[in-house]
Structures are given as structure tokens and as C-alpha cells.
Amino acid sequence: MTKFKTYPVSLTKALVILMIISSAIVVLSLNSYLDRAVKQIYSDMNEHLLKNDGERVAQQIGKYLNQPQASAKLMALLSAGESAARPAAVAGILQQIIDLDFNKGQPLSKLSFATANGSYTALERDPQDGTFKTIHASLQSNQAVLKQLWFVHARETSLPFWTEHTHRHTAEQGMAMTWRQPVRDRAGNFLGVLSAEIQPEEMSGWLQSLDTNNSHRLMLLNEKGRLIAAASPLSADEIQNAGQHLPSPGLADSLLRPAVDHNLMLSKAISDADGKLKWTLVMLTPDNQWQASIHRYHQHNFIGLTIVITLALLVITFLMVRFSRPLVSLINRVHLLGTPLWKPAARGTMFPEVANLASALDKKSRLIMDMLDARQKEIEHDKETGLMTFTGLCNHPELYRGRNMIALLHLSNHSSLTNLLGKEYGTALLAHLQSMLKTLLPADTIYCRERNDKILMIFPKVLDSEQAAFLHQQLETLFMSRQSVSKGCHELLIAGNVGIVEEPLTEERLKALVLNAGIALHHARTEGNGVVTRFAPEMHEVGLRNVELHEELSHALERDEFHLVMQPIVSLAGEGECLEGECLVRWNSPTLGFVPPDRFIALAEQTGLIIPLGYWIIETACRELADFIARGAPDNFKLHINISPLQLQQDDFAEGLLGCLERHNLQGKNICIELTEGVLLDDSTSVLPQLNTLRSAGVTVSLDDFGSGYSSLSYLHSLPFDQLKIDRQFVSDILEDRRSESVIASVLSLANSFKVPLVAEGIENQETGEKLRRMGCVLAQGYHYGRPQPFKNWTVKLGVFNLTLI
């Protein structure tokens, strides 16, 4: 579909254009209406004038046609006292008749009188000057007259009649017409025939003179529709059309109708007094009769309307501009609403409606500015502490002026203490921290509450490394200080960590520096409470590797990238027979290659991925153990599985493990779960019921890495365990370090007192194994006895797993 390009138009222009278009439509419509009205008026006038003119012309023609009868009576009276045979006397009488009855303008071409003995005298009009000349016929002509049919007919009747002379016929003018009137005296004696001849040429000229206004076209037709005379030349189609619409005898003596190429045509019947002559007068009104007047009136009307509308447009445009100018000004400035650039408009030239709108916008602008100011304060300043937010920090005018060191402080005990003691305590703790910071740090340090329990500090320009070391020391002093403030019955103690970044601050690098400070803070938290760490680029690289490791780890289970291996646990007193082994998980990533367990296990615990991974390890270990026993391993073979603290804290852990044993036809004695002692200390109330459920089903519990954490005799008596595994760091130094030997001896004594076996990990040579055997250690594990391998690689036969046979 074609898209038309649009152009923006101002409100004033749009209104003016709309008014011009509307006015043009009004002018054209009104002009068209008036034009039709004028034409109708002129048409009615034309019809009325045509009827009047037709009646007038018809009367004159009728009067003319009746004059020969009066002339015949006068001829009879004048001839009674004269000798009818005297031509001179007849000529005088005819001249007298012409002078009395026929005006010069009437279409009479010849007036003649033929006496009873055939004497013929005529007065004929001269076509040049219009005068009549006398004509006397000879004796021979007298005899010819007596033989004329019209003369014979006149002697036999006393009634007038008309004759047509074919020898005068022309295609354009029709036939010559002669009126014959027999003349008799009072006694009825025949005196002669009075004849009045009419030629079409003269009749046409007379008709033209009758149209005094030259506004019509006149023609005379006989009863057959043939043309007798016309005031102007006519076409054959006009004559034929007129002849087809003659008035019907007895129905109407006139007919008014539209005509081809004319507005109107009037057909009116004309006859003499005796009804002998049946002619029709046809009057045509041409199209252009009133055309000039109509056109002139139309021009005057159009010009007048245009002037009136133009003046009205100018007035309306002036008012519109005056109205719209303030409105357009408001529209053009509306994008400034609610900003300091908005200025109230002058209301002196405004219409009340626009002034009200401007006033409303002024109020809205002030309201918006007040709301924005309040909102800006909320956004840029923390209500609880009064410190700037990060948004407020970005807008601080002194932020980038030579500053080159920032620190991010995490108040680690804020969240827990607030939850335990209430929000007021948390607010008081933050206030105490602010007071300490202002005491220890430079006066023009900028503070920002970056998170709920994090404070971002922007130090003034650090000139050298000594000044940087001083600030580092001051931050460490913050956590080492024993000064405390009481809040109710509790003390406000500051605990947390700090990450520092030393780099010039720029607008482009601000967020990156804060991110690096967060990375340094994370490293400080891993090292313990109260640690202040300076950011190093390798920290970011480690973080990126952890991110990549986390992304790959989240998909490793779906891609089946993990597999299990087993490392045997042997009896130091036996002959290589093995009844126990530890299950270990390995990860070969197509992207990262082989990933050591200490890297991905710790990350899985941090991210919570250890939960699905732990379920997979238990399910796969049980399946592998069942296959291992089915291949020939001892029925009582015990597989050690390391359990994460997060796994053990799941409510359905014990139920899930026992269900897995049942699915693979294993017994509780076939599984030993290895836990670190720290798990029991952190949440012993929630894990003890789980451990008791498992131990009642025959599952044994081994305390792994014993001696490396929080071991003490005060809690061992309350913990359910069936085995101790001493940390490998003591085993590796037993041959060189007497303190390690003492620790192992103490742990052996402790295990004997609890009547549980001790497993020594990390034995890599025969000497270490012999040393531990002599000291009383029962079980051993290490590369010296066997490296971890997939279950299928270990050889078992007839219920025996003996490492000496491999």
C-alpha cells in the first residue's frame, strides 16, 4: 500500500487553510445556487415576455390580415360613384386605399383591382424605395384576366379567399400569397376583384420589424407546416421541428414548449376574420438572449461574494491569530512543563479560555517541579541515613575532581541484627558506623549508601602510597576497635569487610570501579571478618573464570558430563582384602577440560547446584555399587559417599537415600555417608533427626577431615558417628613432624575411647602406612593402595575384592 508523505503544519496555518477551503466551498456553492436562481428567474421572465410578445405580434399580423376586407368595402363604396371601366379612376381608388389602410411598413407587395369586364389595374411596390407604381393591363390582358380561375371563382361568390402562386415559390421563402376579395355594389352587382399580394421576402422583413427588441426569431407557417416567411434565416431542422408542433384546431390556439437549440418555442394560431387563412406564428427565444446579462450578473455576484468572504476571512484570521498565537506559544513551550525553563506567559492579550489554560499549566508546572524535587531527593538521598544514594553520588559536583581511590564497606551483621532486634537497632548501627567513619577518615570523603548494608566511600585525592596505606590501616582499625555504643540492652558492634580500588575516577569508569570494589570485597569476605582487601586485576579474571565455570556447571548434568570413580579403603592389618571404598565425582568438560573437584564442588555449594548434583551422585553411586556387587564384589561392601551440608538440610534427604537403596536392592550397611564436623556444629538440631533415621536403617556416618575444623571433646559425645577420618595434612607430615604424630596419636586414642575405627587418608608410600599400622590405625586410603578408578576397572571375583590380586 502506498504511503503518502506528511508534513507538519502549525495550528494557525491549519485553521487559516481550513477557513479558506471552507469559504471557497461556501462561495462556490452559493454562487452556483444564485446562478441557478438567476437563470430560473430569467427563464420565467423569458417565458412571460415570449407570451406577451407573441400575443402582440399575433395581434398585428391578424390586424394586417383583416385589412383587405375593410379595403374591399372601401373599394365598393368608392367604385359606386365612378365608372368601373376607367383605369385612371381605379388607380386613384387603389392609391387611396393604400394610403388609408396599409402603412408603409406592412408587407404588401401589390394591390390590384380587376373589373367585371377584365380591366386590370395594379399598384406594385418598388423594392428599391418602397413606393407603389401604377400598372394598367392591355386589352389582351383583359381577356386573360377573365379566364383566371380566381376571377371566375370571385364572380360566383361574394366571400373572400386566398390563392397561392406556385411560380413564386422558393426553397427558402415558400409561396407568394394573394388575398382575393369580390367587390359588389349595394344591389349585389359584381364590380370586380380586389387583390392584395404578399411576397415572402417582404413579409419576412415586416416580421423582423415587428420584433422591436431583436430578442426572438419569428416565422409564419401555413396549415401544412410549410414556411411562409421568417424574420431571419432558418435551418431546415428548425423549420421541420416547428412544423411538427403546430397547435391542434379546437384544442389550443398557442403552444409553449422547449425547443432544440433554444430555450422556448411559442406556436400561436393566426387567422383572418373569416377564418379562411390558417397560419401559425412561431417564435423562438435563442439561448443567448439573456446570456450576456446572466454572465454579467454572475460576475458581479461572484466578485461581490468574494469580496465579502475575503473581508470576513481577514477579520476571522485576525481574531484567529490573536487567539491562536498565545495558544501556539503554550503548545511550543509545553515540553518545558515542570522544568525551571517554564515561565508564566503574559495574559494581557489572551482570550479568557487561553488565559485559564495558561494559568492551569503554570500551576501544574509548579506542582510537577515540587513533586520532581521531592522525588529527586528521595532518589538521591537515603531516608534512613541521610547519605546519598548511588544516583545522588553520580550527580555530585565534586565526584570526579582528582579523586583516585574508593572503598566499598559491607556491614556483615546489619541484616541479621536488624531481623533479630528490629529496624531501630539497624538504623542505630548504621549511625554508629557513620560516626566512626567520619572520625577515622578525611573530612571531605564522600559517602554513599550503595546497598542496604554497604557503604561506598570516595576519598579525596591520594598523593602517594603512604597515604593509601594510612587509609587502608584506618579502615582495618574500624573493625579492630573495641569501642562500642549501647542501644538499649545491646551493644552496637561493627563487623564486616572492605574492598578498595585505587584508580582515578572518571564518569566512564565509575560503575566499573564500583564493580571492582565489589570483587575485592568478595575476596575479603572469603578470608574472614574484618579483612580489608585491595583490588587486583587477577581477582577479576578469577571472577570471570568462576562465571564461566558456573555457566558450564549449570548444564553439565543435562549433558551427562559427570562420572564416578571409586578409591579403595584397605585394612592395614589384612592381606590386601578390601571391604570399603570412597565414591568420588569427576567432571570432564568439553569446554573447560578436566575440572578438579575442589573447584566445582565449592562453586556448586555456593550456587545451590550441589542439590541436584548430590541427588545424581547418590542415584549413580547406588547403581554402580549394585552392578559392582553383581559382578562379584562382597555383599557387605561399604561405599562411602560425601554429603554436602546443603543436601543434609533438605527435609527429604534421608527418605530419598533409603528409597534409592531399595530401588537398587541394597542394604543400609552398604552405604556410609561422609560429613564434615562443621555441618554438625552449624545446624545440629535439623540434621540430627536425619542422621538418626539413616543409622537406624544401617547406614553409617563418618566424620571427614577430623581435626581441621572445630573439633572438641565437648560436642563429640552428642554427635552420631561411626567412623573418624583424620585430615590428610597430618598424615603427610607424620614422618617429619612430631607434632603431626602427636595429633594422630591423640585422635587414635579418642577413636578407641569412642570404639570407632580411624581412617587415615593421603598415604602415598609404604613407610607411612607401616608407621600408622604400628600406631594402631586400622584403615587406610591413598595412592599407595590404589588411585581412584571407574567401578568397572576394579577386578572382583566370587565375592572377594583383593588388591594384591590386581
Whether the CB-CB separation of 123 and 95 falls below 8 Å is answered with yes
Q: Among 56-60, 479-483, 583-587, which range has the highest average pLDDT?
A: 583-587
Indicate if the pLDDT at residue 449 is higher than 60: yes
Work out the pLDDT band at 190, boundaries 50, 70, 90. Answer: confident
pLDDT for 103-112, tens place per residue? 555 667 778 8
Work out the pLDDT band at 11, boundaries 50, 70, 90. Answer: low
**Residues of the chain with pLDDT > 70: what percent?**
76
Work out the pLDDT band at 177, boundaries 50, 70, 90. Answer: confident
Work out the pLDDT band at 128, boundaries 50, 70, 90. Answer: confident
Instruction: Kindly report each contact of residues 127-132 with a partner whose C-beta sits within 8 Å and lies 24 or more positions away, as own/partner.
Output: 130/104, 132/95, 132/98
Indicate if the pLDDT at residue 665 is higher than 50: yes
DSSP class of residue 798? T
Q: Residue 306 has what pLDDT?
A: 78
Q: Does residue 618 or residue 776 have the better pLDDT?
A: 618
The three-class DSSP label of residue 579 is strand
pLDDT-wise least confident of 189-198, 339-348, 534-543: 339-348
DSSP calls for 283-336? EEEEGGGTHHHHHHHHHHHHHHHHHHHHHHHHHHHHHHHHHHHHHHHHHHHGGG
Tell me how far apart the alpha carbons of residues 705 and 587 are, in angstroms, rounded to a whole number.
Answer: 23
Contacts of 269 (CB under 8 A, 6+ apart): 246, 247, 249, 252, 253, 254, 278, 279, 280, 281
Whether the CB-CB separation of 561 and 587 falls below 8 Å is answered with yes
Q: Does residue 559 or residue 130 have the better pLDDT?
A: 559
Average pLDDT, integer, range 153-166: 76
Q: Residue 176 class from Cβ within 10 Å (0-12 exposed, 13-18 middle, 19+ buried)?
A: buried
Q: Which residues pair with 198 in a beta bridge?
A: 177
Q: Which CATH superfamily is domain 553-792 in?
A: EAL domain (3.20.20.450)
Average pLDDT, integer, range 425-443: 88
Indicate if the pLDDT at residue 43 is higher than 70: no
Planar angle of CA 791, 792, 796, nearest 5 degrees: 90
Q: Does residue 539 or residue 321 have the better pLDDT?
A: 539
CA 521 from chain centre, in angstroms, equals 49
Q: Does residue 423 or residue 251 have the better pLDDT?
A: 423
DSSP calls for 738-778? HHHHHHHHHHHHHHHHHT--EEE----SHHHHHHHHHHT--
Q: What is the CATH number of domain 400-535?
A: 3.30.70.270
Planar angle of CA 469, 474, 478, nearest 5 degrees: 145
Q: Residue 375 has what pLDDT?
A: 77
Stretch(es) of the chain classified as CATH 3.30.450.20? 66-306
pLDDT-wise least confident of 168-172, 383-387, 738-742: 168-172
Q: Residue 561 has what pLDDT?
A: 92
Average pLDDT, integer, range 116-130: 77
Q: Residue 69 has what pLDDT?
A: 63
DSSP calls for 671-700? EEEEEEHHHHHHSHHHHHHHHHHHHHTT-E
Q: Among 273-277, 649-653, 684-688, which range has the highest average pLDDT?
A: 649-653
Average pLDDT, integer, range 586-597: 90
DSSP calls for 451-498? ETTEEEEEPSPP-SHHHHHHHHHHHHHHHH----EEETTEEE---EEE
Q: Residue 233 has what pLDDT?
A: 72
Rg of the chain over CA atoms, in angstroms? 69
Tell me how far apart the alpha carbons of residues 457 and 445 are, in angstroms, rounded to a whole number.
Answer: 7
Average pLDDT, integer, range 734-756: 84
Q: Residue 168 has what pLDDT?
A: 44
Q: How many CB atoms lie within 10 A of CB 307?
A: 10
Tell me how far apart the alpha carbons of residues 346 and 330 are, in angstroms, rounded to a whole number.
Answer: 11
Tell me how far apart the alpha carbons of residues 187 and 586 are, in angstroms, rounded to a whole number.
Answer: 168
Work out the pLDDT band at 700, boundaries 50, 70, 90. Answer: very high
CA 481 from chain centre, in angstroms, equals 64
pLDDT-wise least confident of 410-414, 543-547, 684-688: 684-688
Q: Residue 10 has what pLDDT?
A: 60
Stretch(es) of the chain classified as CATH 3.20.20.450? 553-792
Q: Does residue 286 or residue 651 have the better pLDDT?
A: 651
The grid coordinates listed for 236 are 431546415
Tell me how far apart the alpha carbons of residues 504 and 428 are, in angstroms, rounded to a whole number.
Answer: 33
Work out the pLDDT band at 708, boundaries 50, 70, 90. Answer: low
H or E, element range at 595: strand 593-595
Tell me how far apart the alpha carbons of residues 486 and 492 are, in angstroms, rounded to a whole number.
Answer: 6
Identity of residue 409: L
Q: Among 319-323, 480-484, 551-555, which range has the highest average pLDDT?
A: 551-555
Mean pLDDT rounded to a whole number for the chain: 79
Indicate if the pLDDT at residue 616 is higher than 90: yes
pLDDT-wise least confident of 323-337, 539-553, 554-568: 323-337
3-state secondary structure 49-110: HHHHHHHHHHHHHHHHHHHHHHHHHHHHHHHHCCCCCCHHHHHHHHHHHHHHHCCCCCCCCE
Work out the pLDDT band at 1, boundaries 50, 70, 90. Answer: very low
- Residue 722 gets the label, from left (phi > 0), alpha (psi -120 to 50) or beta, of alpha
Q: Does residue 217 or residue 78 have the better pLDDT?
A: 217
Tell me how far apart the alpha carbons of residues 614 and 596 are, in angstroms, rounded to a whole number.
Answer: 17
Q: Residue 501 has what pLDDT?
A: 93
The grid coordinates listed for 622 are 547406588
Indicate if the pLDDT at residue 3 is higher than 70: no
Enter the pTM of the model: 0.48
Tell me how far apart the alpha carbons of residues 143 and 140 are, in angstroms, rounded to a whole number.
Answer: 5
Give all strands of the β-sheet with 110-115 in edge-to-edge order: 132-136, 120-125, 110-115, 190-198, 174-184, 161-170
Contacts of 595 (CB under 8 A, 6+ apart): 549, 587, 588, 589
DSSP calls for 17-31? HHHHHHHHHHHHHHH
List phi, psi (to 5°) of 384: -70, -40
pLDDT for 348-383, tens place per residue? 666 677 777 777 877 887 887 778 777 777 778 888
Identity of residue 193: V
Identity of residue 568: P
Does domain 66-306 match CATH 1.25.40.80?
A: no
The grid coordinates listed for 56 are 402582440
DSSP calls for 206-254? HHHHH-TTS--EEEEE-TTS-EEEESS---HHHHHHHHTTPPPTTT-SE
Work out the pLDDT band at 630, boundaries 50, 70, 90. Answer: very high
Q: Residue 169 has what pLDDT?
A: 40
Whether the CB-CB separation of 503 and 509 falls below 8 Å is answered with yes
Indicate if the pLDDT at residue 538 is higher than 50: yes
Residue 621 vs residues 569, 581, 583, 603, 638: alpha-carbon distances, Å: 16, 11, 7, 22, 11
Give me the helix-helix angle, 537-556 and 597-607, nearest 10°: 80
Indicate if the pLDDT at residue 139 is higher than 80: no
Indicate if the pLDDT at residue 529 is higher than 80: yes
Q: Among 200-214, 455-469, 535-549, 566-580, which range has the highest average pLDDT?
A: 455-469
H or E, element range at 648: helix 645-648
Whether the CB-CB separation of 225 and 242 falls below 8 Å is answered with yes
Work out the pLDDT band at 738, boundaries 50, 70, 90. Answer: confident
Average pLDDT, integer, range 428-450: 90
Tell me how far apart the alpha carbons of residues 264 and 51 are, in angstroms, rounded to a whole number.
Answer: 10
Stretch(es) of the chain classified as CATH 3.30.70.270? 400-535
pLDDT-wise least confident of 149-163, 173-187, 437-451, 765-779: 173-187
Q: Which residues pair with 639 in a beta bridge?
A: 581, 671
Q: Residue 166 has what pLDDT?
A: 47
Indicate if the pLDDT at residue 408 is higher than 90: yes
Q: Residue 349 has what pLDDT?
A: 62
